Amino acid sequence: DVEAIVAAINSSRIFRYLTKPWESEELRLTLHRAVEMFQLTRENARLVEELRHANERLSTENAYLRGSAGPHEIVGDSPAIREVLALVGKVAGSPATVLLEGETGTGKELVARAIHTASPRSDRLFVAVNCAALSEGILESELFGHRRGAFTGAIADRKGLFEVADGGTLFLDEVSETTPALQAKLLRVLQVDVRIIAATNRQLAEEVKVGRFREDLYFRLRVFPIRLPPLRDRLEDLPALARHLMRRIATQLKKPVGELTEEALTVLARYPFPGNVRELANELERAVLLSEPGAPLTEDLLSEHLQAADGGGSSGVLESRTAAFEREQIDGALARAGGVKSRAAEELGITYRGLLKKMRRLGM
């Protein structure tokens, strides 16, 4: 049936039609090409799926950058954090390379995103890579790309992140963990049209002295250094930061959450938080998960090691700084609300009764 054959060929159910008698070589070549076509079809399907996932990640990334990665996401009003925000504002408009220094969990990636969002490059990609999380070979491939067949598993040509981030910002987190060989390659490639923001939790100057980090790369990266303060040095920010994190966690978990009690806040203020804001966020997430929906977050929901901390004898100083910050925040909210307490409470993210309770406790 000629019509059936034509229909089958047109619908791709038949790769090629051979007439009898066929040549053995022709049959061999046809089978070989059919296998190649099958492999290409399967590879194309895989690549299309990879592209779909990449586009989904890109859409999520862009939405994050547009909606929540600006300087407003850096919560706090302490002198230390105000200085960081001032430096972000000064450097964002320039193409200068930035080196973010600070302990683990102080928010280096958040600051990097804020710089990108406030820069003329904000409509281009922000690409982040953790240099400590990948082996040297994989990190090199991620940064500079590779050709198909360059190593086992390299089934296609792949652009490097320097090329992907062209015109945008490339964030090199934990850059101090790179090997000397990779540092040399980074030094050569820093001339491309990519805004470089690097971060480290080490003292890079000391790493240079002991020979673990190239001095020339150090000076190339340290055009505009910003040191992020640890949480223990800006405890005035703790109440506002904890409320902000709780709201974000509650939204992510889709769970209503009450206020953080004064007793719980006191427990948090006594703890030194070696893991900084990241550790605080983890502790609050645990407390939210343990809490009843809509109920206050009490001190008994916090980890035992937090409750056991004595603050090294400085709890009175910490509580005094926290109280001063709360007074300042309440005064500002009341002024903006024209003295209407209900509106001030709404701005502060607490209930009307909660505001009255705080004002009584603070002697306001």
How far is Cα 194 from Cα 175, in angstroms, rounded to an integer? 16
CB distance 155 to 43 below 8 Å: yes
pTM, to two decimals: 0.68
- Regarding whether 216 and 157 lie in a shared domain, the answer is yes
Residue 166: CATH number of its domain: 3.40.50.300
> Looking at residue 277, which CATH number applies to its domain?
1.10.8.60
Same domain, 261 and 343: yes
Q: What is the pLDDT of residues 176-220, one digit of tens each?
A: 999 999 999 998 886 678 999 999 999 999 999 999 999 999 999
**pLDDT under 70 in the chain at which residues?**
1-2, 5-15, 17, 48, 51-72, 146-157, 190-191, 310-322, 324-325
pLDDT for 260: 85
Q: How far apart are CA 34 and CA 37, in angstroms?
A: 5
Indicate if 214 and 322 belong to the same structural domain: no
Measuring CA to CA, which residue among 349, 357, 319, 322 is closest to residue 333? 349
pLDDT value at position 198?
97
Q: What is the pLDDT of residues 64-116, one digit of tens each?
A: 444 445 555 788 888 999 999 999 999 999 999 999 999 999 999 999 999 99
Q: Give the Å distances, CA to CA, from 176 to 187, 201, 205, 221.
A: 13, 8, 10, 11
The verdict on 211 and 86 lying in the same domain is yes
Please give the Cα distance from 248 to 88 (Å, whole number): 23
Number of domains in the chain: 3
The answer to whether residues 344 and 323 belong to one domain is yes
* Nearest-angstrom CA–CA distance, 76 and 242: 10
For residue 99, what are the β-bridge partners?
198, 225
In what helix (H) or strand (E) does residue 347 lie, and over which residues does it extend? helix 341-348
Task: Please state, in angstroms and rounded to a whole number, the distance separating the CA atoms of residues 129 and 266.
Answer: 37
Look up the domain containing 215 and give its range: 69-229
